[in-house]
């Protein structure tokens, strides 16, 4: 996997985050926005990896991007930020754990580090309730770090 | 209306019983089986029905846990649908086992009677998770029904919802792993857990919408959720196409395009149209499961069509049977809101909830340590999928014991718990001891009929007798071996050389470890020829 592509993916995943929960859209339109974001990540993954990489390396890549996007989007929420950040990280943890578990049956090594980091992030989620901008910034950097490790 | 639907369900159960009888007596030969995957329509129907069963918990548990109030308006029909759909789903894997009476080998007991119940297999995970899910769903429904007349039961709903919330997602994740961890490249996908959950929730929403329309209730949130679901699941279908080239226009038409008619106000305001569009989503999800399990079209038998009748019949009779029973008990199944449930008389103390979770954790930890002691080769990480349903199950039981203790005196409760414990202990002991696992057919008779005087061709014998486990080329049939045995032994020329031809022939005839004896089925000369053929394969294959 190319480091530049990984970096680009991280930036692309964060790009729609500020607009995900903006405005008072009806629920189906919100669903369409989420679906469109996931679709963009899928197209990016296929164009970036295609047939050059083994399928196992990128089959959950769009979902990882989507999870990062959801995590970052919670930083801009005005209410119940910590709760939704915990849910988003729970989603990411879910994707990572079960994805890696299924890959481990295909002899892909099971890497614990991203999972441990995400569990740590979950544990520290209540810090997001603090009304300081710093906490949000730290979390954004932390998630970018998790992305690099994952 | 309910009585008519209940009667239709019972009527459908008559042909369904015939289908079940045919399937059980003839075995997997009676339905269409994909020869590359070994799986057929029972598995696709299982995945479909277990997906539908998620609706109840979605609406009552998840929305209750997240304090979404409108979910309570339809919680009862949704919970009943879960309790009715899980038994339907459970029929299919039991039939698919081939010998349903040996279902107890799915209990994660470790090494029992020289057999290893492979707790690394998602089939065992499924059994545990779905069993726990069904038991807790029944208790959840009972607590809900009781809370209508006795508000103190309402206090247990939220702690219970927080047990069921992750459990419902866990169950369908494990169902997805049935596919994701196999050797079939068509099923490879680390994204399958999320894909399956989204699919299950989508079909569940559609089912509850239909059930609410039967109750003459229109819930606009359900229509919105159906539309939202169609947009969320679309990228997964596109991803399947981009990665694997899997494309099913029927699924796209019924599952995505038709539900978009709900954007049109006049369509949305027509009851029949709402039901038809929800039904089209259910149909799409059924087609999608079918296509996923069996990528190649097969010639269906009457049993394959019969599964549809069986599913519909059992579900309708169970759902409307329960619905009528609740009506008879004066439980308001569909009311605008349950004030008693919304505002429980008192909140459950946190330490009670914590105690329940700790009890679940302690019991599961004890089981994991015991299992690891018996089977040291089992990786720690593969305990996690089975561990959480066990924790949730015990925590749910502890909470429900506390809840029901208010109904009876402590002495009666203690007596009931002791009795249940004794029954469970006796059952476990019976399973652990087991019955006679040998076939009762007389061996000598088989020997005289099966073994011809002239030795048969070794390659032919290998393909008919050995290839199912060892593979045609000697490299093992990975799918079969991985599902049934823990650590397949290395099949190499060095290993065969170390054993010697006579020893190998003896192993073939008398069996060893997981290798079953073939004496009586093949002659000694044939066993010797097979040992030589194995050497040839090992030399060529490795």
Among the partner residues A39, A59, A102, nearest to B235 by beta-carbon distance = A39
Provide the 8-state DSSP code for B60. I
Residue B51 makes CB contacts below 8 A (sequence gap 6+) with: B172, B196, B199, B200, B203, B204, B285, B289
Contact in structure between B123 and B106 (CB atoms under 8 Å): yes
Tell me what pLDDT residue B451 has: 56
Centre a 10 Å sphere on the Cβ of residue A23 and count the other Cβ atoms it contains: 8
Contact indicator for B222, B244 with CB cutoff of 8 Å = no
In a domain, B126, yes or no: yes
- Locate B458 and state its tokens: 């070794």
* Coil, strand or helix at B464: helix
Boundary of a domain, candidates B357, B377, B404: B404
* B495 in a structural domain: yes
Residue A17's domain comprises 3-149
Q: Mark whether B95 and B217 lie in a shared domain.
A: yes
For residue B472, count CB atoms less than 10 angstroms from its CB and return exposed for 0-12, middle for 13-18, buried for 19 or more. Answer: middle
pLDDT of residue B361: 93
**The residue count for chain B:** 542
Alpha-carbon torsion B192, B195, B200, B203, what sign? negative
- The count of structural domains within chain B is 2
Taking the C-alpha atoms of residue B290 and residue B283, their distance in angstroms, rounded to an integer, is 11
Q: Is B180 on the interface with A (CB under 8 A)?
A: yes
Angle ∠(A96,B177,B229) on CA atoms, nearest 5? 75
Report chain A residues whose CB lies below 8 A from the CB of B229: 31
Q: From CA B198, how far away is CA A30, in angstroms rounded?
A: 16
Q: Which candidate, B163, B173, B109, B65, places its Cα nearest to that of B360?
A: B163
Q: Could you tell me how many residues make up chain A?
A: 150
What are residue B519's phi and psi, to 5 degrees? -60, 135
Chain A residues whose CB is inside 8 A of the B384 CB are 97, 101
Cα four-point dihedral sign B290, B295, B297, B298: negative
Question: Taking chain B, what is the end-to-end CA distance rounded to the nearest angstrom?
Answer: 67
Residue B434 lies in a domain: no
**Are B128 and B22 contained in the same domain?**
yes
DSSP B519: B
A31: nearest CB among B177, B189, B228 = B228
Same domain, B327 and B198: yes
In angstroms, rounded to a whole number, what is the distance separating the alpha carbons of residues B473 and B439? 29
Give the Cα-Cα-Cα angle B278, B281, B283 (nearest 5 degrees).
Answer: 110
| B375: DSSP letter | -
How many domains is chain A partitioned into structurally?
Answer: 1
C-beta atoms of A28 and B227 within 8 A? yes
The answer for B248, left when phi > 0, alpha when psi is -120 to 50, beta otherwise, is beta
Computed on alpha carbons and rounded to an integer, the radius of gyration of chain B in Å comes to 26
Give the span between the Cα atoms of B122 and B384, in whole angstroms: 12
pLDDT digits (tens, 9 = 90+) for B9-56: 889 888 888 888 888 887 777 888 776 667 788 888 998 998 888 877
Q: Which two tokens stand for residue B319?
A: 């759902």
Q: Do B181 and A105 touch (CB under 8 A)?
A: yes
At residue B233, the pLDDT reads 92
Cβ of A98 and B190 within 8 Å? yes
Residue ranges in chain A whose pLDDT is less than 50: none
Helical residues (DSSP H) of B215-260, grouped into ranges: 220-244, 249-252
DSSP structural state of residue B512:
B
Chain B, nearest residue to A110 by Cα: B381
Nearest chain B residue to A90 by CA distance is B166
Question: What gap in Å lies between CA A123 and CA A79, rounded to an integer?
Answer: 19
Tokens 């009527």 found at = B11
Q: Residues of B with CB below 8 A from A27's CB? A: 221, 224-225, 227-228
Beta strand pairing call for B111-112 and B115-116: antiparallel
**pLDDT at residue B340, rounded to an integer:** 46
- In this prediction, the residues of chain B whose per-residue pLDDT falls under 70 are 35-37, 112-115, 333-347, 432-455, 476-491, 513-514, 540-542
**Domain extent for B144:** 2-28+55-404
Q: What is the DSSP string of B74-139?
A: GHHHHHHHHHHHHHHHHHHHHHHTS-GGGGGGGS--SEETTEE--TTSHHHHHHHHHHHHHHHHHH
**pLDDT at site B542:** 39
In this structure, is residue B386 part of a structural domain?
yes
**Which residue in A20, A27, A31 has the most chain B C-beta atoms within 10 A of its own C-beta, making it the best mutation to test that interface?**
A31
B40: helix, strand or coil: strand
Q: Are the CB atoms for B345 and B154 separated by under 8 Å?
A: yes
* Same domain, residue pair B231 and B304: yes
**Shared domain check, B196 and B98:** yes
Same domain, B332 and B471: no
Task: Give the list of residues 6+ apart from residue B107 with CB closer than 8 angstroms, or none.
Answer: B117, B124, B127, B431
Question: Alpha-carbon dihedral of residues B286, B119, A93, B237, nearest 10 degrees?
Answer: -20
Which among A35, A98, A106 is the nearest to B232, CB-wise?
Answer: A35
Burial tier of A12 (Cβ tally within 10 Å: 0-12, 13-18, 19+): middle
The Cα B171–Cα B132 span in angstroms is 9
Is B411 within a domain? no
Q: How buried is A113 (Cβ within 10 angstroms: 0-12 exposed, 13-18 middle, 19+ buried)?
A: exposed
**Cα(B380)–Cα(B210) distance, integer angstroms:** 43
Q: Do A101 and B181 touch (CB under 8 A)?
A: yes
ipTM above 0.95, yes or no: no
User: Does residue B109 contact residue B367 with C-beta atoms inside 8 Å?
Assistant: no
Judge if B244 and B113 occupy the same domain: yes
Q: What is the pLDDT at residue A52?
A: 66
Residue ending a domain, among B343, B373, B404, is B404
Does B368 share its domain with B292?
yes
CATH number of the domain at B474, please: 1.10.760.10
Which residues, other chains included, contact B163 with Cβ-Cβ below 8 Å and sequence gap of 6+?
B136, B392, B395, B396, B399
Residue in A with minimal Cα distance to B66: A83
Q: Is the torsion defined by CA of B10, B15, B18, B20 positive or negative? A: negative
The structure tokens listed for B69 are: 């109030």
Cβ distance of B181 and A56 shorter than 8 Å: no
Query: Which residues of chain B lie closer than 8 angstroms to A104, CB-CB?
Result: 381
B9, B320 Cβ separation under 8 angstroms: yes
Residue B437 maps to a domain: no
Q: Rounded to the nearest 5 degrees, what angle is found at the Cα of B142, between the Cα atoms of B136 and B148?
A: 140
Sign of CA dihedral B131, B133, B136, B139: negative
Same-domain status, B302 and B241: yes
Work out the number of other CB atoms within 10 angstroms of the CB of residue B420.
Answer: 12
pLDDT of residue B444: 46
| Yes or no, beta carbons of A39 and B231 under 8 Å apart | no
Contacts for B157-160 with beta carbons within 8 Å, 24 or more apart? B157/B64, B157/B341, B157/B344, B158/B64, B158/B65, B158/B348, B159/B348, B159/B352, B159/B353, B159/B356, B159/B399, B160/B61, B160/B136, B160/B396, B160/B399, B160/B400
Q: Which of B405, B404, B395, B394 is nearest to B159 (CA)?
A: B395
| Most B CBs within 10 Å, among A25, A41, A61, A98, to test the B interface | A98
The CA distance from A94 to the nearest CA of chain B, in Å, is 8
């Amino acid at each position: 996997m190319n480091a530049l592509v990984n970096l680009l993916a991280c930036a692309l995943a964060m790009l729609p985050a500020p607009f995900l929960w903006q405005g008072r859209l009806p629920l189906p339109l919100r669903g369409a926005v989420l679906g469109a974001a996931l679709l963009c990540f899928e197209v990016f993954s296929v164009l970036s990896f295609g047939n050059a990489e083994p399928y196992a390396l990128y089959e959950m890549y769009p979902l990882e991007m989507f999870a990062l996007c959801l995590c970052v989007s919670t930083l801009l929420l005005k209410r119940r930020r910590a709760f939704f950040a915990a849910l988003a990280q729970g989603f990411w943890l879910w994707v990572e754990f079960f994805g890696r578990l299924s890959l481990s049956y295909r002899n892909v090594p099971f890497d614990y580090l991203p999972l441990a980091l995400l569990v740590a992030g979950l544990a520290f989620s209540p810090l997001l309730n603090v009304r300081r901008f710093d906490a949000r910034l730290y979390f954004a950097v932390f998630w970018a770090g998790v992305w690099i490790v994952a | 209306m309910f009585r008519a639907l209940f009667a239709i369900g019972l009527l459908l159960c008559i042909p369904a019983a015939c289908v079940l009888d045919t399937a059980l007596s003839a075995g997997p030969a009676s339905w269409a089986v994909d020869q590359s995957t070994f799986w057929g329509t029972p598995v696709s129907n299982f995945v479909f029905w277990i997906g539908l069963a998620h609706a109840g918990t979605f609406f009552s548990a998840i929305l209750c846990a997240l304090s979404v109030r409108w979910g309570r308006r339809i919680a009862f029909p949704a919970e009943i649908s879960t309790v009715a759909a899980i038994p339907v789903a459970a029929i299919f894997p039991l039939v698919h086992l081939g010998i349903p009476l040996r279902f107890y080998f799915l209990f994660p007991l470790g090494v029992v009677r020289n057999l290893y119940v492979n707790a690394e297999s998602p089939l065992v995970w499924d059994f545990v998770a779905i069993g726990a899910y069904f038991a807790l769903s029944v208790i959840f429904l009972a607590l809900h029904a009781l809370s209508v007349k006795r508000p103190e039961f309402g206090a247990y709903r939220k702690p219970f919802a927080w047990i069921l919330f992750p459990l419902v997602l866990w169950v369908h994740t494990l169902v997805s792993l049935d596919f994701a961890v196999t050797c079939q490249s068509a099923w490879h996908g680390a994204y399958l857990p999320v894909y399956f959950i989204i699919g299950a929730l989508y079909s569940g929403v559609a089912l509850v919408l239909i059930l609410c329309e039967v109750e003459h209730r229109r819930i606009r949130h359900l229509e919105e959720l159906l539309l939202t679901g169609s947009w969320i699941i679309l990228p997964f279908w596109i991803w399947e196409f981009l990665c694997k080239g899997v494309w099913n226009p029927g699924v796209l038409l019924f599952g995505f395009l038709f539900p978009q008619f709900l954007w049109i106000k006049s369509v949305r305001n027509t009851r029949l149209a709402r039901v038809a569009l929800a039904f089209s989503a259910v149909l799409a999800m059924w087609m999608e499961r079918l296509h996923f399990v069996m990528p190649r079209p097969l010639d269906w038998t009457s049993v394959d069509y019969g599964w549809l009748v069986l599913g519909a019949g059992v579900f309708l009779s169970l759902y409307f049977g329960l619905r009528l029973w609740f009506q008879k008990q004066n439980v308001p199944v569909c009311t605008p809101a349950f004030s008693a449930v919304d505002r429980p008389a008192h909140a459950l103390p946190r330490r009670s909830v914590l105690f329940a979770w700790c009890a679940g954790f302690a019991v599961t930890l004890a089981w994991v340590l015991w299992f690891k002691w018996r089977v040291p080769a089992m990786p720690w990480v593969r305990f996690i999928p089975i561990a959480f349903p066990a924790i949730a199950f015990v925590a749910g039981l502890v909470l429900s014991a506390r809840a029901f203790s208010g109904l009876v005196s402590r002495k009666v409760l203690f007596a009931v718990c002791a009795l249940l414990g004794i029954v469970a202990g006796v059952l476990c002991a019976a399973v652990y001891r087991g019955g006679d696992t040998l076939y009762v057919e007389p061996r000598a008779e088989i020997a005289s009929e099966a073994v011809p005087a002239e030795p048969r061709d070794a390659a032919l014998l290998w393909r008919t007798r050995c290839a199912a486990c060892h593979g045609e080329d000697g490299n093992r049939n990975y799918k079969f071996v991985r599902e049934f045995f823990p650590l397949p032994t290395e099949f190499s020329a060095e290993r065969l050389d170390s054993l010697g031809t006579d020893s190998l022939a003896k192993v073939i005839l008398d069996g060893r470890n997981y290798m079953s004896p073939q004496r009586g089925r093949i002659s000694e000369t044939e066993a010797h020829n097979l040992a030589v053929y194995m050497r040839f394969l090992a030399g060529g294959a490795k």
